[in-house]
Amino acid sequence: MNERSAAVGRLTWWDAAVIGVAALLAVLLVLQTAEPWRLATGGAGLALLVVSWVALGRRGPEAPTAPWFVALAALAAGIAVAGYPTLAIIQVVVYPIAWVYAPTVRRAIVQNVAVAIAVGVGFLVSLGAEPENLPQTGFTIALSLGFSLAMGLWISRMTELGERNGALLRELQGAQEQIAALNRDAGAAAERERLARELHDTIAQDLTGLVLLAQRARRTGGDPEVLALIEDVARETLGETRALVAAGAAVAGATAAADADDRLDLAGALDRLAERFERETGAVVTIARAERDPVAGSALPRDVEVVVLRCAQEALANARKHARASRIEIAVGRTPDAVTLRVADDGIGFDPAAARDGFGLAGMRDRLALVEGSLDVASAPGRGTVLGVRVPVATAGVRA
């Protein structure tokens, strides 16, 4: 619809140009001469231009009749100038027609020369072939042809550059659309990975604990204390699930506190995590504290606190599932530019270089990579395991 409107607009301008110039020259012809043959010849040339435009030119440059229209326009210019020299002003329309209605630049140059020849013949008829008139005729034709060629070649070059730039712009827009699609896909993949980490670090671990507690309750014949613990864990798991659905960062045992405050009580959350782990497994969990607690009251970014807590959760989950540990020690430290976490157990250990199945350590490394953190694993069969986590404070939260 827009292309059709643009084409109609171009035809309207050409209508105004061709018919307007012809009408103006007709008035000028009538005012400047009264000789019948000049009036008839000049009028015939102007009429031929208008008729050829209406019959052929309005079909457009792509029409098969375009060459015939250019030939008739050149002939009309020659006839008009033969009638009266001042009608050479008709060139302001005929030369542009020779450019616009040409499929190539070479064809346009040939058509311009044809117009110049037709106008030159018209000058010879109207002014005569006397030697004193030839220089003026030659100068007028050369000047008009030279100006037309210069302007036409310049406009053609600008049009070519514009089309090339337009093609480059379309390619750039296509590339930008592809990049946007890739970014959307990457964002969706990153969101799936984030959700997988959150599910693994919260819901999956809680459900594992529930399974272990249920097995323990079966062995004890439905111990009320174990049943109460199952109920507590189930409630916490429900709260964490609701927090994930609400796109909040759930905190084991401290969901309500995390929802109520934008900052996390990391020290309290670690205490609750250790207490709950002891109740579920019977292992002894100690949290090493200095005289001045490095995390209590410290203004840590929430992203750092969540990463540290998730790593502690994952370390305890690994100890429960694989280490068979009876004692676990958790230590959190603070340096000017980083927070450190150390989790050591007295379990059976493993070979860190050996390939292992599971999402635990890999998910922990992925989570730390988002905040430019690092994970060190020291272990050996029969010698327990020590996990060391370092989370830079200055960069945390940039990509979390």
Domain's final residue, options 87, 109, 129: 129
Mean pLDDT of 222-247: 65
Rg of the chain on CA atoms, in Å: 45
CB 254 within 8 Å of CB 274: no
Query: Same domain, yes or no, for 289 and 377?
Result: yes
Residue 140 lies in a domain: no
Query: Same domain, yes or no, for 334 and 220?
Result: yes
Query: Same domain, yes or no, for 327 and 265?
Result: yes
Among the residue ranges 162-176, 198-212, 247-261, the one predicted with the least confidence is 247-261
Instruction: Flag whether pLDDT at 299 surpasses 90.
Output: no
Instruction: Flag whether pLDDT at 320 surpasses 60.
Output: yes
Residue 366 lies in a domain: yes
Residue 163 lies in a domain: no
Residue 83 lies in a domain: yes
Query: Same domain, yes or no, for 104 and 199?
Result: no
Burial track 147-184 (b if 16+ CB lie within 10 A, e otherwise): ebbeebeeeeeeeeeeeeeeeeeeeeeeeeeeeeeeee
Mean pLDDT of 271-279: 81
Confidence of residue 259 (pLDDT cuts 50, 70, 90): very low
Instruction: Flag whether pLDDT at 72 surpasses 90.
Output: yes
Instruction: Flag whether pLDDT at 55 surpasses 50.
Output: yes
Query: Same domain, yes or no, for 306 and 374?
Result: yes
Query: Same domain, yes or no, for 26 and 101?
Result: yes
Query: Same domain, yes or no, for 245 and 366?
Result: yes
Mean pLDDT of 74-93: 90
Q: pLDDT for 135-171, tens place per residue? A: 888 888 888 888 888 888 888 788 788 888 888 888 8
Instruction: Say how far residue 164 (Cα) sits from the centre of its chain.
Output: 22
Burial track 230-267 (b if 16+ CB lie within 10 A, e otherwise): beebeebbebbbebbeeeebbbbbbbeebbeeeebbbb
Nearest to 201 by CA among 155, 161, 241: 241
Mean pLDDT of 120-138: 83
Query: Same domain, yes or no, for 227 and 100?
Result: no
Give how many domains the chain has, as a whole number.
2
Q: pLDDT for 363-385, tens place per residue? A: 788 878 888 888 888 888 888 88
- Dist CA 40 CA 139 (whole Å): 27
Among the residue ranges 73-77, 124-128, 216-220, 317-321, the one predicted with the least confidence is 216-220
Q: Residue 19 is part of which domain span? A: 2-129
Confidence of residue 48 (pLDDT cuts 50, 70, 90): very high
> Which residue has better confidence, 222 or 177?
177
Average pLDDT, whole number, for the chain? 78
Query: Same domain, yes or no, for 264 and 333?
Result: yes
Domain's final residue, options 112, 129, 146: 129
The Cα angle at residue 269 between residues 268 and 272, in degrees rounded to 5: 90
Residue 165 lies in a domain: no
DSSP-derived 3-state class of residue 343 = strand
Residue 158 lies in a domain: no
Query: Same domain, yes or no, for 125 and 262?
Result: no
- Dist CA 283 CA 350 (whole Å): 19
Query: Same domain, yes or no, for 118 and 220?
Result: no
Residue 223, domain CATH: 3.30.565.10
Mean pLDDT of 261-287: 77
Strand positions, DSSP E, the chain: 284-288, 327-335, 338-345, 374-379, 385-392
- Dist CA 121 CA 129 (whole Å): 10
- Dist CA 227 CA 50 (whole Å): 101
3-state secondary structure 171-227: HHHHHHHHHHHHHHHHHHHHHHHHHHHHHHHHHHHHHHHHHHHHHHHHHCCCCHHHH
**Beta-bridge mates of residue 329:** 286, 344
Confidence of residue 243 (pLDDT cuts 50, 70, 90): low
Matching residue, tokens 């989370």? 391
Residue 152 lies in a domain: no
Residue 349 lies in a domain: yes
Query: Same domain, yes or no, for 382 and 260?
Result: yes
- Residue 353's alpha-carbon distances to 12, 317, 349, 366, in angstroms, are 80, 20, 12, 18
